[in-house]
């Protein structure tokens, strides 16, 4: 079963509330996504949201970043967000990852960030939150320098 099929299976399990199976399958998805991502990185290739396999990888990394953030592993979540800026080909997704990293720089919880800054009524490619309320502009201004410094440090 490839990563796209695994996500379809995960969707079915989510409706059945089978937590153990969901957790096991997501770990499997995440491992496959990391392997694909590492291969792309080695080949100097990008993840393209129009490619179903790449889209599943982007989704897995996005969900994992949010999970890390929610668990308080902020540095790991930020690092993953910065990594995705390198690997995604799509400008809307690059902006999305940037905005979520800025939310982490503000020391907000994931829930508070969604509540205050993310228009979760709209999705891009059915899986990604790329629309933000205008209030996020003040965070961008506040954290622009820190974001650029950390992103540049990550590039080295």
The pLDDT tens digits of the residues spanning 79-109 come to: 999 999 989 999 999 999 999 999 999 999 9
Q: State residue 155's pLDDT score.
A: 66
Nearest to 65 by CA among 87, 45, 40, 43: 87
Classify 132 as helix, strand or coil: strand
The separation between CA 117 and the C-alpha centre of its own chain, rounded to angstroms, equals 16
Element housing 72 (H / E)? none
pTM: 0.93
Domain boundaries, given as residue ranges, for the chain:
3-155
**Is the distance from CB of 68 to CB of 81 less than 8 angstroms?**
no
The pLDDT tens digits of the residues spanning 114-141 come to: 999 999 999 999 999 999 999 999 999 9
């Amino acid at each position: 079963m490839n990563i796209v099929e695994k996500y379809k299976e995960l969707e079915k399990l989510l409706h059945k509330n089978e937590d153990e199976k969901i957790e096991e399958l997501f770990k499997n998805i995440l491992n496959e996504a990391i392997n694909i991502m590492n291969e792309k990185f080695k080949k100097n290739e990008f993840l393209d949201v129009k490619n179903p396999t790449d889209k599943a990888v982007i989704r897995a990394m996005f969900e994992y970043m949010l999970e890390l953030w929610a668990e308080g592993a902020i540095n790991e979540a930020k690092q993953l967000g910065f990594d995705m800026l390198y690997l995604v080909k799509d400008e809307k997704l690059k902006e999305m990852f940037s905005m979520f990293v800025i939310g982490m720089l503000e020391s907000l919880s994931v829930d508070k960030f969604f509540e205050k800054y993310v228009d979760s009524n709209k999705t891009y490619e059915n899986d990604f939150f790329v629309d933000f309320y205008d209030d996020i502009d003040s965070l961008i201004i506040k954290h622009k320098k820190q974001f650029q410094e950390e992103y540049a440090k990550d590039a080295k």
